[in-house]
Chains A and B, each alone.
Chain A
């Protein structure tokens, strides 16, 4: 997030797109609701009538995968009506003319046709956001889990740069991170393109720096993404170590994923339970869990906070860093003589410019947002104040393209997947918490009542749902939260493995899977 969570109470216009915040980031949503209570206006773009839609001022139920068209439409209205922030555009951006000329050509009739939205609603949203004193934008996987995820994000950047809603209190472009330390995994350099602190691996200066630190030259070439690695299993990838991820259930196209992992010569899995992924491993190593582990995490607002052990480890389980270090030592790799989490974290701080001002003791109260370049620095709650990291903000010409697969006579219904409040990801944890089943006992396919009738289903009955990659049997829940023609399910329950269906395509740059769009066929089925 460019801005801290506390800023969520400060905008006068909030634009939420592709974020089911009340279910996926419920506590952040409480701040947003307080902003609304204070008079802020809310624009919500989401194919499903999520709870945020109920409390919105402008609701844009766009067709799944049509975000770029919507954002082109909003951009068109802004440049057509001269609503851009001219001072900001001149002082802090580049490539305005090209983007303006592109946006001018956008036809609002076309926007309406692609998105399924009345042009008047798109115009209203554009005027509201552009006219805000402090406009803040929030998004989640509804933006990124598309083959055009990067295009979606760049379209949002364009809106922010045109209106100047960035670099100030109560504004910003704010992706909400989904896992407790997914931000941290990136901060630490667990990325194929960056060392810790987002230092690019293809910069020779960084190569030299880490050669000195790690005692070995690391390739200037970016590594594979996990998606590519899974594709190459059994061809060029033969050994894999996976920490704390139930890849088999969480990733798209489960059958493909299972074939990939089974084709490895050597798979090591570190986890707190024997997951479906662990079942395929040659060696499974038990990690200490939350509540048993001292460590550090970064939240979605880049706040670096301490995790503390409250109870002893289960059985013989060990901290992940200890396990990895032990493997490294057995392979005679230098630099893994850590004695504590503190040792590891302090090394991270020393090698990472955005953490240089931090150490184990300084983060005890969790008051720092990175970057914290030195010990005298108070941290950076708001990014992009005064100047962008690379100087000027780059406006980008973005064009719409269809999802990897579109509905057809054979697969006439859009499936979009997501999460629900009561369960977390593949239920490795929430599925083992007493009481959660009372609120959410099973997977449900949310279908509009009209579609329930159209496909000969029954509310509470069963449906067979198929995509080109597989099929599942799933219980039907009639609800107008789903629009006609679009159905929704999570992928939390292993007995309804919805990810056998998904995986139609990936963003070419980030390799993020198009989990949000999957044409399917639905028919009535017998109870499994």
Chain B
């Protein structure tokens, strides 16, 4: 029975589960098979052919992402032959693109092509010539740069929009050098069903679709650091990475392994982060003066004044005259401390949060 579920992978017998592809098995065994059109969240597409492997008995190498394992297969993932094949393919792909080195702020997967071209030393330029895809410089939306000169027709954007977002806002027009990613009626994204969720941006392996808002910070010096947290908007609780350079927030990227969102975000979580370092942030405590005007104060003075006011109200009207409202936007610790203040402070349950409106 064991034979039913094993293949020979680079000389070792390995088990597999029903329905697994050769790529998935190789990935599980850390074979570093290169891909460009592959996104583990999407149906396998088999377009880029980089994931080819040698399969004993087959005349040509096969695309491992679309080949289901069957018992007894013998597969070789890194022979000289497939590695040469992959390098040539990468040279063909790279020859079309104006640039290979795109800024990492462009998107989550934006470094995939560059990393492979470097790994295979595929910057030869020996296939220089025609290009496919025309950039949409006319689309002035503030969020998604549509630099299709860098498009390699992997269709990940179209597929993620359909399969993951369920919006079908973009599609592929034409074939070969005439391939163009476009919307219905070929207009700007704003006039399509696009909701600016950014999923297409973050699955793009070349920067053809890029986070235009984040790229404003491309010239800011410093290394990009990522901090894993949860989106500040609705109650779905999507995991995100805040992108910072030094102490500046330069963008947000979805966490592909976020348990609530699996790599998805919406326009708010993806793009509406810059309130944090907005110039209008309240930076010091404010206290109202005798003249009725709010003025900056030290923490000590403001806290004394805040406490004294409650002491005065309690003396004059009793503890039941004090009420606390906790936030549905602040962390647990804020709400817990606030309810404890009311209960331990005045012995009453005069505490609520903003869920009723």
Chain A residues in the interface with B (C-beta under 8 A): 5, 22, 24-30, 33-34, 36-37, 176-193, 195-196, 201, 210, 214-219, 221-227, 229, 236-245, 247, 250-252, 265-266, 268, 270-274, 278-279, 281-287, 289-301, 303, 305-312, 314-321, 323-328, 330-331, 333-336, 338, 341, 344-345, 347-348, 366-367, 421-422, 424, 428-430, 432-436, 438-439, 510-513, 515
Contact of A308 among B228, B310, B316 (CB under 8 A): B228
Q: Min CB distance, A239 to chain B, in Å? A: 4
Chain B residues in the interface with A (C-beta under 8 A): 141-143, 163-167, 190, 195-197, 213, 225, 227-239, 242, 244, 247-249, 259-261, 264-269, 271-278, 280-288, 294, 299, 302-307, 309-314, 316-317, 320-345, 347-357
Q: Cβ of A511 and Cβ of B327 under 8 Å apart?
A: no
Of listed A251, A252, A282, residue having the most chain B CB within 10 A: A282
Q: Cβ of A320 and Cβ of B334 under 8 Å apart?
A: yes
Chain B residue numbers with a CB within 8 Å of A273 are: 275, 278, 280-282
Q: Could you jot down 9 A-B contacts, CB within 8 Å?
A: A28-B236, A34-B166, A188-B335, A285-B303, A305-B260, A307-B331, A318-B299, A323-B303, A328-B341
Q: How far is the CA of A3 from the CA of B265 in the complex (A)?
A: 21
Contact of A316 among B273, B283, B311, B357 (CB under 8 A): B283
Top-3 shortest CB links A-B = A315-B283, A295-B331, A299-B237
Q: Min CB distance, A51 to chain B, in Å? A: 9
Contact of A324 among B229, B234, B337 (CB under 8 A): B337
Chain A residue numbers with a CB within 8 Å of B355 are: 179, 182, 185-186
Using a Cβ cutoff of 8 Å, how many contacts connect chains A and B?
493
Q: Min CB distance, A308 to chain B, in Å? A: 5
Known contacts A177-B234, A185-B355, A285-B303; 14 further A-B pairs (Cβ under 8 A)? A33-B167, A182-B328, A196-B336, A218-B343, A229-B350, A238-B316, A242-B325, A272-B275, A291-B276, A295-B331, A298-B332, A334-B344, A335-B340, A421-B195
Contact of B353 among A185, A299, A435, A512 (CB under 8 A): A185
Known A-B contacts A24-B234, A327-B306; A301 and B336 likewise in contact (beta carbons under 8 Å): no
Chain A residue numbers with a CB within 8 Å of B249 are: 291, 310-311
Of listed B317, B330, B352, B355, residue having the most chain A CB within 10 A: B330
Q: Min CB distance, A120 to chain B, in Å? A: 29
Contact of B227 among A37, A180, A310, A315 (CB under 8 A): A310
Q: Cβ of B341 and Cβ of A333 under 8 Å apart?
A: yes
Chain A residue numbers with a CB within 8 Å of B268 are: 421-422, 424, 430
Known A-B contacts A224-B350, A265-B309; A366 and B333 likewise in contact (beta carbons under 8 Å): no
Chain A residue numbers with a CB within 8 Å of B233 are: 180, 424, 429
Contact of A305 among B195, B237, B266, B274 (CB under 8 A): B237
Q: Cβ of A314 and Cβ of B338 under 8 Å apart?
A: no
Known A-B contacts A328-B345, A341-B333; A236 and B328 likewise in contact (beta carbons under 8 Å): no
Q: Cβ of B313 and Cβ of A239 under 8 Å apart?
A: yes
Q: How far is the CA of A323 from the CA of B300 in the complex (A)?
A: 11
Q: How far is the CA of A88 from the CA of B357 in the complex (A)?
A: 35
Known A-B contacts A291-B273, A421-B267; A512 and B334 likewise in contact (beta carbons under 8 Å): no
Q: Cβ of A287 and Cβ of B330 under 8 Å apart?
A: yes
Q: How far is the CA of A295 from the CA of B173 in the complex (A)?
A: 47
Q: How far is the CA of A286 from the CA of B278 in the complex (A)?
A: 14
Q: Cβ of A27 and Cβ of B266 under 8 Å apart?
A: yes
Q: How far is the CA of A273 from the CA of B283 in the complex (A)?
A: 9
Chain B residue numbers with a CB within 8 Å of A430 are: 268, 272, 275
Contact of A30 among B164, B305, B316, B330 (CB under 8 A): B164
Q: Cβ of B275 and Cβ of A289 under 8 Å apart?
A: yes
CB closest chain-B residue, reference A177: B235
Q: Min CB distance, B213 to chain A, in Å? A: 6
Q: Min CB distance, B228 to chain A, in Å? A: 6
Known A-B contacts A190-B352, A515-B357; A237 and B321 likewise in contact (beta carbons under 8 Å): yes
Known A-B contacts A268-B309, A289-B275, A299-B235; A216 and B344 likewise in contact (beta carbons under 8 Å): yes
Contact of A219 among B259, B280, B303, B349 (CB under 8 A): B349
Q: Min CB distance, B201 to chain A, in Å? A: 13
Q: How far is the CA of A272 from the CA of B334 in the complex (A)?
A: 13
Q: Min CB distance, A345 to chain B, in Å? A: 6
Q: Min CB distance, A500 to chain B, in Å? A: 14
Chain B residue numbers with a CB within 8 Å of A27 are: 197, 236, 238, 260-261, 264-266, 269
Q: Cβ of B321 and Cβ of A317 under 8 Å apart?
A: no
Q: How far is the CA of A270 from the CA of B227 in the complex (A)?
A: 25
CB closest chain-A residue, reference B247: A311
Chain A residue numbers with a CB within 8 Å of B351 are: 189-192, 223
Q: Cβ of B303 and Cβ of A327 under 8 Å apart?
A: yes
Chain B residue numbers with a CB within 8 Å of A292 are: 276
Chain A residue numbers with a CB within 8 Å of B304 are: 330
Known A-B contacts A308-B229, A316-B299; A214 and B260 likewise in contact (beta carbons under 8 Å): no
Q: How far is the CA of A429 from the CA of B234 in the complex (A)?
A: 12
Q: How far is the CA of A433 from the CA of B317 in the complex (A)?
A: 43
Q: How far is the CA of A191 from the CA of B355 in the complex (A)?
A: 10
Known A-B contacts A239-B321, A266-B310, A284-B294; A297 and B348 likewise in contact (beta carbons under 8 Å): no
Q: Cβ of B332 and Cβ of A187 under 8 Å apart?
A: yes
Q: Cβ of A296 and Cβ of B235 under 8 Å apart?
A: no
Q: Cβ of B339 and Cβ of A244 under 8 Å apart?
A: no
Chain A residue numbers with a CB within 8 Å of B282 are: 271-274, 278, 284, 286-287, 314-315, 317
Chain B residue numbers with a CB within 8 Å of A287 are: 282, 330, 334
Q: How far is the CA of A43 from the CA of B328 in the complex (A)?
A: 30
Known A-B contacts A308-B228, A331-B311; A179 and B271 likewise in contact (beta carbons under 8 Å): no
Contact of B332 among A188, A272, A281, A438 (CB under 8 A): A188
Chain A residue numbers with a CB within 8 Å of B247 are: 311-312
Q: How far is the CA of A179 from the CA of B231 in the complex (A)?
A: 10
CB closest chain-A residue, reference B321: A238
Q: Cβ of B345 and Cβ of A25 under 8 Å apart?
A: no
Q: Cβ of B266 and Cβ of A26 under 8 Å apart?
A: yes
Q: Cβ of B286 and Cβ of A224 under 8 Å apart?
A: no
Chain A residue numbers with a CB within 8 Å of B230 are: 180, 297, 299, 305-307, 366
Q: How far is the CA of A338 from the CA of B340 in the complex (A)?
A: 13
Contact of A333 among B228, B269, B344, B349 (CB under 8 A): B344
Contact of B325 among A219, A222, A241, A296 (CB under 8 A): A241
Contact of A182 among B239, B320, B354 (CB under 8 A): B354
Q: How far is the CA of A413 from the CA of B329 in the complex (A)?
A: 34
Chain A residue numbers with a CB within 8 Å of B333 are: 295-296, 319-321, 341, 344-345, 348
Chain A residue numbers with a CB within 8 Å of B331 are: 181, 184, 293-297, 307, 320-321, 341
Q: Min CB distance, A488 to chain B, in Å? A: 18
